[in-house]
Chain A
Amino acid sequence: MNEDALVRVEGLSKTFDLSPSWLSRLLRGGAKQRLHAVDEVSFEIPRGTTLALVGESGCGKSTLARLLVGLHEPSRGRALFDGQDVHQTLGGADAGPLRQRVQMIFQDPFASLDPRWTVGQIITEPLIEQKILAPGASLEQRLQELLAVVGLSASDAKRFPHQFSGGQRQRISIARALASEPDFLVCDEPTSALDVSVQAQVLNLMRDLQRQRGLTYLFISHNLAVVRYVSDAVGVMYLGRLVEWAPRARLFSDPQHPYTRMLLDAIPKLRNTGQARTPVQGEVPDPLNPPSGCAFNPRCPHANDRCRTERPLLQGTPAGRVACHAVAEGRIGVS
């Protein structure tokens, strides 16, 4: 394993208990219902790089993001930041320094800022809360610096979020995330709710910041084109499991897992106008009732009996890892 990994995730799992109350189960005899939102995920992120996680709804990428920043407790496995166990550290006395180094940018620019707080209050909240700076001249100066970095003006500090557009609000979120000078940013679909031209501005900004400050990103998205632009490595998730992991160039030129191929194929392309494509089978199954064996098997053109009974493990080299029996057995040729 790469020793320079700033973030390492080992067998991380999160299960939600969605069973009806015990009284209902007593009276109606229903079974316990468990949602395996994240299921034995392992990967690492080297310092200064961007790992993108892609997948469709229900694949667990948002839950994984929240596990990494301590908003959820893991059911099994662990997440390590710079060698420290995230969950244990956040529960202990050393939580402060860790909180400063790990921050998150959320998807919804409207819900991620408190509508009653001014922009200045929002951005400086981490500084005050983590006792980095007390209210005063140096706090003001830091606020001005942060506003300038994300391209907002000094007078914006006194305004309220509803007076800004979606793109500007994401900039405010970015400024807030940068306030404590973090090393690692978890970005949960930061541009999905933005228009294309605004998205370009925000993505460029994030890239510039990464170069200037040596930031490490975990970038979550369902948009593979955006992922191609921002990532160094890509992980593909399906129903809580990591099914493929590869450096960016390899993933887009030579995708291994049938689901990855299906995803890439399904995206409308600007060049292929009106061309018929391989029809896509089925839909994502109910996460409460995942298929046995490999989660993708009902939709997979290469599924055999082993796929329906035995869950494939993520195997491979730093050049690329796949969780697929067909690939491991050599049944799928190079496309």
Chain B
Amino acid sequence: MNALRRWLDTDLAYSLRQSPLAMGAALVAFICLFCAVFAGWVAPQDPFDLATLELADARQPPIWLEGGSAKYWLGTDDQGRDILSAVIYGARISLIVGLSSVLLSMVIGVALGLVSGFLGGWIDAALMRLCDVMLSFPAILVALLIAGVGRALFPQAHTSVAFGVLITSITLTGWVQYARTVRGSTLIERDKEYVQAARLIGVSPMRILRRHILPNVLGPVLVLGTIQVATAILTEATLSFLGVGVPPTSPSLGTLIRIGNDYLFSGEWWITVFPGAMLVLIALSTNLLGDWLRDALNPRLR
């Protein structure tokens, strides 16, 4: 409680309170996260438990339209699955994939950026050329390529392997940004006098990197990460929409959108629109949060 009170008193919290948009975005993002984590308690039914499905209820419209019922707030799909539950569970998959790939990208990117900036020389040059090469490939194509390779290697894909391949492909498209940003900040911090003071004391380069430089370059990384969550989730959605993302047994929002796409023209628009809306909501709120974070951190960095 004390720690919370202290945090609320900081400049960051004050800046959050100044911006209703950021607070709204934070609230929305928090709700999505909460629903995703506690999907089992929040969702009215488990849409992937075939035993609970009633085929007779298939293709029901949302509650406010004629034909809808209170049992299925957002209607059902062609198999009788509750759309609301499907959206919640789908969001969970999307968030898991999105967050873990962002986290992995961060770890890889920050580590490489630190090494590159601190050591300089040919290591720095080589890593930066690698970054340049990676950036010249469009993210989706890289992800498609890796996903395709993965499927070829593991045709009888176990679910977790399929997830692993998907997360790997999104990770590999995202780490470059962190590496570059961190390298730039590291170059600046490396020449500052507090680093020289540490060298003077005899601190080893590894410890200097870890204990002095790393904490001081993390600011922009967090901003990037927040914005990248949206990108990662959208990338995953695109891949799933194309059919090369998550396995069909664990549909993410992208999968749901694809499934619903077929029914768009037969009038059952709710099957695709609500997963789409949820996707937009998550992406928008994390983007807005990222924007606010970047501006809030900026004057202090100055």
Contacts and interface: CB of A to CB of B under 8 A. Distances in A.
Interface string B162-202: 00000000000000000000000000000011101111111
B111 to A, nearest CB: 19
Which label, helix, strand, loop or mixed, suits the secondary structure of the B interface?
helix
B151 interface: no
A71 B199 contact: yes
Contact of A176 (B196, B197, B212, B216): B197
B242 interface: no
Contacts of A126: 201
B200 A69 contact: yes
A115 B189 CA distance: 11
A106 B200 CA distance: 11
A274 to B, nearest CB: 40
B193 A130 contact: no
A130 B201 CA distance: 7
A250 B201 CA distance: 36
A111 interface: yes
Contact of A99 (B192, B202, B212): B202
Contacts of A95: 202
Contacts of A107: 193
Interface of A: 66, 69-71, 95-96, 99, 103-104, 106-108, 111-117, 125-126, 129-130, 173, 176
Contacts of A96: 202
Given A112-B194, A115-B216, A103 B200 contact: yes
A106 B193 contact: yes
Contact of A106 (B197, B201, B215): B197
29 contacts: A66-B196, A70-B200, A71-B196, A71-B199, A71-B200, A95-B202, A96-B202, A99-B200, A99-B201, A99-B202, A104-B196, A104-B197, A104-B200, A106-B193, A111-B192, A111-B193, A112-B193, A112-B197, A113-B194, A114-B194, A114-B212, A115-B216, A116-B215, A125-B203, A129-B201, A129-B203, A130-B201, A173-B197, A176-B197
A218 B194 CA distance: 20
Nearest to A113: B194
B201 A116 contact: no
Interface residues of B, number: 14
Nearest to A106: B193
B192, B196, B201, B203 — which one has the most chain A CB atoms within 10 A of its CB?
B201
> What 8 A-B pairs come out closest when comparing CB atoms?
A112-B193, A106-B193, A116-B215, A114-B194, A111-B192, A126-B201, A111-B193, A99-B202
A108 B193 contact: yes
Contacts of A125: 198, 201, 203
B55 to A, nearest CB: 59
A130 B203 CA distance: 9
Given A116-B215, A116-B216, A176-B197, 17 more contacts: A71-B199, A71-B200, A95-B202, A96-B202, A103-B200, A106-B193, A108-B193, A111-B192, A111-B194, A112-B192, A112-B194, A112-B197, A113-B194, A114-B215, A117-B212, A125-B203, A130-B201
A48 to B, nearest CB: 22
A99 B199 CA distance: 10
Nearest to B191: A111
B289 to A, nearest CB: 23
Contacts of A176: 197
A126 B216 CA distance: 20
B7 to A, nearest CB: 15
A129 B194 contact: no
Contacts of B216: 114-116
Nearest to A96: B202
